[in-house]
Structure 1
Amino acid sequence: MKVALYLRVSTLEQAESGYSLEEQEDKLRKYCEARDWDVVHVYRDPGFSGSSLDRPSISQMLADVKAGIFEGVLVYKLDRLSRSQKDTLYIIEDVFNKYNVSFISMSENFDTSTPFGKAMIGILSVFAQLEREQIKERMQMGKVGRAKAGKAMNWSNVPFGYRYDSVNDTYDIDEFQAAIVKRIFADYLAGKPITKIHNELNEEGHLGKKVPWSHRTIRQILDNQTYTGVNVFKGEIYPALHKPIIDAETFERTKREISRRQQVYAESGNPRPFQSQYMLSGLIRCGYCGAIYIILTRGGKHETPYHIYRCESIARRSATNIHRDHCPAERSYKRLELEKIVVDEIRNLQVNPDLIDKYKVETFDPEPLKKELERIRSQQDKLVDLYLNSGSLPLDKLQEKSDELERQRKKIEQQINSTPTPTLSVDEAKKILDTDDVTKLEYDRQKVIVRQLVSGITITNDDFKIKWSFSL
């Protein structure tokens, strides 16, 4: 059999025990002579640790395995190949076995061409997995230690707005980038959609990390609590050595705003609710059927076109619309008139900020309503069972009782879905109101303020109710 010898010794081993490459080679050649094996190549890695595969000769040997230069590889001891069971298993299973090359360790009498050697590979794989888990655990412990010490958690991918300080193992603020980070948070809290934020930055020539800004990169910044001067690892928060770019209050407000926008999306079905052209788009709900009010264009050849809001259940003449046949909403409303009502209400709050207390939203607990909903559904199920199993309940009585339970169910579901989730504190609302006369601002600025302060609007034929975003 044609074999290659692999010899390795670290500098420390050679200095302490005289475990030289020459001694290894001499013993291996004698081993080959006794078995009539031909040594076709000798690979030597002097002064290299076995804990890594980053060794020139072993790299060359693995390449030659694929070339079919020899049929077996012989080492003096198993740890000459690698001190890592994980790496040893990789070399044997993914390289040697794949190219039909035997692996023999002289000291352990380990030969992968024999049944015993193949069985040992299975045992080795168990220890390799254990080693991987131990390495993973040590890495995790190391990261926890770094987090607790306040050190930089990611020096290879530093958050935008910082530079890595290798001397102190922390982040230094990049003033130019930090200004952009602050602007992103401010714009988002001012009501701008993420798409508009990254479009404006790109148009002005402000690149992110050498690439244009995108929805993903803006969102990564808004979600990154590192900017408040902390380390976050596995859900735990630790004080960090680096200075904050934004304060904790700004970050918490941003989290609430993200949640609010997600809720608006879920309720309206509009994937871009904060890019709406009009001030109240997606905010108005029918007080009867719960459908949204949509924008329609009116006017013809002889009059200026104008927009109205109309309950979608009435406006959509689709047979699939489940609300249309029963919704009693009669009126439509001119867009400008409704917008003026809302802006005037906000102006009233600016002039009389104490009125905010009148509109404060108590924290809503949906659990009692959910329990009542479950009770009604249980009654509906029992009603059907009673009719199917006993036959004693007349069909007309069944229909009457079923309709009543269905009305109750829809009413409770509407209560749950229409109750606003507070996203602003009173102090935050007052900060938003602390601006110029809202009735005199440009339309886009008015729209931003409205969407910050108003969580929804409910309309019936004789009522118009604004639901504010203030919480206690």
Structure 2
Amino acid sequence: MKVALYARYSSDNQRDASIEDQLRLCRDYAARQEWMVVDSYSDRAVSGASLLRPGIQELMQDAQRGKFSIILAEAMDRLSRDQEDIAGLFKRMKFAGVRIITLSEGDVTQLHIGLKGTMNALFLQDLADKTRRGLRGRVEAGKSGGGLCYGYDVVRRLDGNGETVCGERTINDGEAAVVRRIFREYANGKAPRAIALDLNAEGISGPLGGAWGPSTIHGNRERGTGILNNELYIGRLIWNRLRYLKDPDTGKRISRLNPESEWVAKDVPETRIVEQALWEAVKARQATTTWSQKTRGRGIHPLNRLQRPRHLFSAMTRCGCCGGGFSMISQNHLGCSAARNKGTCQNRLTIRRDVLEKSVLNGLRTHLMDPALFKEFCDEFTREVNRVRMERGAGLAAMRAELPRVDRELDKAIQAILDGVPGVTLKDKIGRLEARKEELTALLAEAPEPPPLLHPNMAVIYRERIEALYDNLQNEGNRTEAIERLRALISHIKLIPQDGELAIFLEGDLAAILMFSSNKKNAASHPDRGVLQSFVEQDSLVAGAGFEPAAFRL
């Protein structure tokens, strides 16, 4: 039996050796069962509340490729603490013919998924409630509820019992001077963008050592973010203004504004940096320039009422020098945002939006799928798929050969009972054989038929579909859908200065292009998505270069 090991620990406070401890226990168990360990996977200092972890993702991909037939972990909560995620993992592994076994629960079944999944979810909720309770108690005592904002240092000391005191802050004189400067300059009429440019030009580091940006300074008044809205600078600590929810699709934390009645406020005069008169002057200027949902009726920003044109490749264009975004700096021109808002990039060249769109569309239509290079890719892809299928086929062949052996063993056991052997002595053996026969029958019944490979003329098909999509782009009724399909085909658009102008480098999304050419909506629906994923990780489809990883100019 081929087995893969998985280990995880969730907190930076835990030991990295925890991974090796878990793997050692799993190896010992596998050795006792005479299983062959083919690989091990791990995630260090990563929460089990999400499956968006590199180790578990690699484990799932290798399971789909038939690399092993058993996943062995210390406990179910190492794999996931989320009910939906652990149920989905169990379902996918069952479909792939992979068993999940843990040292704590044994052979994981649907009963374990229901009970232990619920217990793990309750553990996370209980942990969150206790953490919030502790933070609130710290805030009520006038201490920080977490995080370190610009202008302060963490106080590290021990109490009388030798335990670390948490939540105490002291003013950082150098950063406090920068905070007062920002308040003064803004109150005197200077724009946040101009303030950020000056601070970066003088080499003054921003929060967390990064560069200053306009949003770092002006933030959001209602959410209390940004230098100009931090009430700690006037000696007032606000806690629970925001709550954070994890997006189930992306795993990212999303902030939500709590009702003001749920905020916890505490006066901490020892943290004051900005005088009250200066604070009020800043608030007075903000009132004349900042839009507020509370004061503008239905909460629709005035600019959003305008019917602004939807640009074809908005938010997809990057600066090749700093990696920052290219944004509209005038009605028709795009420029590097970092160069203009922060002054941290030297790329001051611009490009007309219509020129960029025409060039990229031309690259999609004429350069992105070279027929000769695509044929070479198809040949290589076919060879890899056949290799993976042979490995899977070997497993199926072994199961087909094992099934009649199990039948023969059952017949022998039944014959032994007929010959006079007491049934009690053969009861356990017959039970194991019947369970194995049922498992083999189910696995063979669910084994998918070999799907078709890529069509060798897919490059030609791609060209035809792109032309049709380009025609739809000219039709106002079909324009929105055409834009979405075109954007899905592109991974990156980089603009790099060369000889006094911006060169355009277009890189396509290989999986999306193959699905588009196959007239499928989702790359995950491809029957050989595991092999396809490995190709996507290794190769990029680039305008002018077929499937080479390097980028070429349009």
TM-score normalised according to structure 2 size: 0.34
Larger Rg: 1
